Amino acid sequence: MTDANEIVNKARAIDRLTAKEWAEELFENFFELHGDRRFGDDPAIIGGIATLEGQPVTIIGTQKGHDLKENVYRNFGSPHPEGYRKSIRLMKQAEKFNRPVVTFINTSGAFCDVESEDRGIGEAIAESLLTMSQLKVPILSIFIGEGGSGGALALGMGNKVWMMENAMYSVLSPEGFASILWKDSSRSKEAAEIMKLTPTDLLELTVVDRIIPESRRKVKLKREEVIHNVRKDIIQALAEMSEWSEEEVIQQRQARFRMY
């Protein structure tokens, strides 16, 4: 079994597929939309419209980069309030036009600097959760890398929640956990082992519904094979949820999260 610290390192690897790459590889005709119509556009969250076998889908994801320049531009995948407000706008648009929503999550958390606080980062995350809890169209949330704190949860309130084999999801980072509990961030490896942040732990706790394999018998799968498998699973999941009524979609999602 892969230890938790190894999962953390793999989840943070700079060569992992980004949300935009997943959108472009899994779907057809991805068209990115920008701006929250209040303040501006946040590059840390991408969103837009695509098709999947002819079906229109709204895609939203936290976006990191593959090099320092892009990561600085994307704020290392840590959104400001306008990023979440952009995602809220796109989710409401999806509801209006009856499009299912697929979210891709890879963030260490929302960006909590003074400017974010001034523009209401906490309120933006809360509004995102409220919007997702009441959205009348199905939501599929997939953790593709890091999943940290409310910044991850803000896009993670799906009817179905999946994790890549080498992804993590936790209330805070192992370094933050170690700093709070032991006043020593160097004990992050020890923290990771007790935080239950791995896909296996979270599947057992029913926090997530499915683990998407990235390897077979400890051999890393080819990128094309992983994408093919995920695409097939998404098609099946969206087909299943398309049979649900609007009331069933909302009730299932709310019941899922009320278990905690």
> How far apart, in whole angstroms, are the C-alpha atoms of residue 77 and residue 133?
23
The enclosing H or E element of 61 equals: strand 55-62
What is residue 62's predicted lDDT score, i.e. its pLDDT? Answer: 96
> How far apart, in whole angstroms, are the C-alpha atoms of residue 169 and residue 6?
14
What is residue 207's predicted lDDT score, i.e. its pLDDT? Answer: 93
> With 60 as the cut, is the pLDDT of residue 1 above it?
no
- Give the three-class secondary structure for 170: strand
CB atoms within 10 A of CB 127: 17
What is the β-pairing status of strands 210-212 and 215-216?
A: unpaired
What is residue 35's predicted lDDT score, i.e. its pLDDT? Answer: 93
What is residue 92's predicted lDDT score, i.e. its pLDDT? Answer: 97
Residue 220: both structure tokens together: 């890393």
C-alpha distances (whole Å) from 259 to each of 100, 133, 170 are 23, 14, 17
This prediction has a pTM of 0.94
Answer whether CATH 3.90.226.10 is correct for domain 4-252. yes
Q: For residue 208, which amino acid is it? A: V
Q: E strands of 27-129, at which residues?
A: 28-33, 45-52, 55-62, 101-107
pLDDT tens string 30-39: 999 999 999 9
User: Percent of the chain, pLDDT > 90?
Assistant: 87
pLDDT tens string 154-178: 999 999 999 999 999 998 889 989 9
The enclosing H or E element of 40 equals: none
> With 80 as the cut, is the pLDDT of residue 2 above it?
no
- Give the three-class secondary structure for 183: coil
Q: Read off the pLDDT band of 260 (50, 70, 90).
A: confident
Q: Mean pLDDT of all residues in the chain?
A: 94
Helix, strand, coil percentages (3-state) for the chain, rounded to 5, are 45, 20, 35
What is residue 217's predicted lDDT score, i.e. its pLDDT? Answer: 83
The CA-based angle 239-243-246, given to 5 degrees, is 120
